[in-house]
Amino acid sequence: MARARALVVVLALASAGAARAQTMLDQEQRLIDIHSLLLDLPPVQAPVALLPGQLGVALELVGIPYIDGTTGSKRQITASDRTPLFPRPRLALGLPAPPDFRSFVGLSYIPPFAINGVSTNSIAVEAGFGWTPGPAALALRGHYVYAVSKSPVTDPDTRYTLETSEGGADLGFGWRFDFAPVSVTPYAGLGFVSLAGNFTVTSDGYVLHSNYTGVALQAGLRVLMEKHWQVVGEVDAYPGRLVHASLSLGYVFDFWSP
């Protein structure tokens, strides 16, 4: 009887271990998720940082950390093999809002220029609304991204296609410290992102699908100089998938007076 119980325990542990083991399909879907999340539109900005009538123009440099491309016995070419970062232009416009509140809309577009054998055509939109009592800011932001990327995967001469559609929302909190003519705003955010990725193999047209929903975390620091020049550094984390850093360099125009 004791031996039978022991055998049941061993079989149960073995089956649990087998359930946790990653298949090659799991590994390929993980790579789809990682590359899609690199195209996500994290804040790279303090919560509702723009006043009504201000237009923020920025160039973001999105860092690409090392990505392990191992799938089964093969090693795929990943984004980190081609470039350490990619640039993304971004516009944000502060909108009218009630006293002690702010709102904004934003847009980002990446044209399909090939750099080192990789091209991405992406458009992203966002909108946010927040409470700004004094130097504090608490804001809710929603965003959506659609992108098509072409890159080598199995060898440098191939061009496979990744189609990504993703959206999400986050709640951010920041606190502004004024040291005229410079202000410094540390901030952090918590939210979620949901994506659908379709990876098409060029040689035979096979399409691999991946759907992922997970937590998104942000922490950053905004430095505004002379009320116009801004530098923002941010670290974004998607637990179990990706951690990466971004740097934003921009200028804030007083576009109109409310």
Whether 241 contacts 215, CB under 8 Å? no
pTM, two decimals, is: 0.85
pLDDT at 18: 42
- Statement: residue 20 has pLDDT above 80: no
CATH number for the region 23-254 comes to 2.40.160.20
- Statement: residue 99 has pLDDT above 50: yes
Summarize the confidence of residues 113-132 as an average pLDDT. Answer: 89
Give 15 or 220, the one with higher predicted confidence: 220
Distance CA 252, CA 255 (A): 9
pLDDT at 157: 66
Summarize the confidence of residues 142-150 as an average pLDDT. Answer: 94
pLDDT at 3: 43
- Statement: residue 145 has pLDDT above 60: yes
- Statement: residue 251 has pLDDT above 90: yes
Residue-averaged pLDDT of the chain: 86
Give 224 or 84, the one with higher predicted confidence: 224
pLDDT over 70, % of the chain: 86
pLDDT over 90, % of the chain: 60
Distance CA 175, CA 179 (A): 13
Summarize the confidence of residues 219-237 as an average pLDDT. Answer: 97
- Statement: residue 11 has pLDDT above 60: no
> Which contiguous run of DSSP H or E holds residue 17?
helix 2-20
Summarize the confidence of residues 146-173 as an average pLDDT. Answer: 85
What counts of helices (H) and strands (E) characterise the chain? 3, 14
Summarize the confidence of residues 14-29 as an average pLDDT. Answer: 61
Q: Out of 76-80, 135-139, 234-238, which region has the weakest mean confidence (pLDDT)?
A: 76-80
Task: Read off the pLDDT of residues 180-214 as tens digits, 9 standing for 90 and up.
Answer: 899 999 999 999 999 999 988 766 667 888 899 99
Summarize the confidence of residues 39-65 as an average pLDDT. Answer: 95
What distances in angstroms separate CA 192 from CA 25, 145, 166, 183, 195, one per listed residue? 24, 14, 11, 29, 10
Q: How confident is the model at residue 155 (pLDDT cuts 50, 70, 90)?
A: low
- Statement: residue 47 has pLDDT above 90: yes
Lookup result for tokens 């044209």: 111
- Statement: residue 164 has pLDDT above 60: yes
3-state secondary structure of 47: coil
Q: How confident is the model at residue 84 (pLDDT cuts 50, 70, 90)?
A: confident
